[in-house]
Amino acid sequence: MEIDIKESYIDLGASGSFTSVNQIFSALKTIYFEPSASRSGRVIDATMVLSGSTNPPTLDLLFFPVSSSLSSSISSSLQSQQFSMSFAQMANCVGRVRVLGSDFQNVGGHMVANLYNLNLTFQGNGLYLIGVYQTSSAVTYTANSTYLNIGYELGQNKQTLF
């Protein structure tokens, strides 16, 4: 069985002030998308780099295999708003990774968190991410100061047998 190891470098787009628990930190972001193929995959690890604050937040990274039903509810215009999602939409979530403030270390004046052995599996033609701020203390980020690097693997294309 052939496995493709991939890496996705994502500007989370988080900017502005975050002051309370359950705020949208990062609107819907595409990690992987192949419109013509349905594949199984696994998120292996992630590295988050934040700049502009030495007060590391706690974040929930929510992973979804579909974007169409989520794009209207989690658009970039809603960033910094309270996170809310219907149960039908949340039922599609394939995993949550919590990044704790204690996971971050100050490296060269930037906050860096490495998360290993995530082993988060998914199936479909895409994988998408929503970031949710989960800290009660205030922090402000400027544009282009929040990045996530995700390592993942993809299995073979699923073939229809009909």
pLDDT tens per residue across span 64-107: 987 666 665 565 556 668 888 888 888 889 999 999 999 999 99
The pLDDT value given to residue 160:
47
Contact between 93 and 121 (Cβ < 8 Å): no
Give the pLDDT confidence score for residue 75 in this predicted structure: 56
SS3 category, 89:
helix
Helices (H), the chain: 87-90
Instruction: With respect to residue 25, please indicate whether it lies within any of the assigned structural domains.
Output: yes
Does 162 reside within a domain? no
- Residue 118, domain member (yes or no): yes
Q: Residue 110's pLDDT is what? A: 92
Q: What is the CATH number of the domain that holds 63?
A: 2.60.120
Domain count, the chain: 1
Q: What was the pLDDT predicted at 78?
A: 62
Q: Each residue of 107-158: pLDDT tens digit?
A: 998 999 999 999 999 988 889 999 999 998 888 888 889 999 999 999 877 6
User: Is 70 inside any structural domain?
Assistant: yes
Burial 87-113 (b: 16+ CB within 10 A, else e): eebeebebeebebeeebbeeeeebbbb
Element spanning 105, H or E: strand 104-107
pLDDT digits (tens, 9 = 90+) for 24-63: 998 889 998 888 878 889 999 999 999 987 888 999 999 9
pLDDT of residue 121: 92
- Say what the pLDDT of residue 53 is: 79
- Could you list the residue range(s) of the whole structural domain that residue 125 is in? 4-157
Confidence of residue 2 (pLDDT cuts 50, 70, 90): confident
Residue 4, exposed/middle/buried by CB under 10 A (0-12, 13-18, 19+)? Answer: exposed
> Span 1-16, mean pLDDT?
86
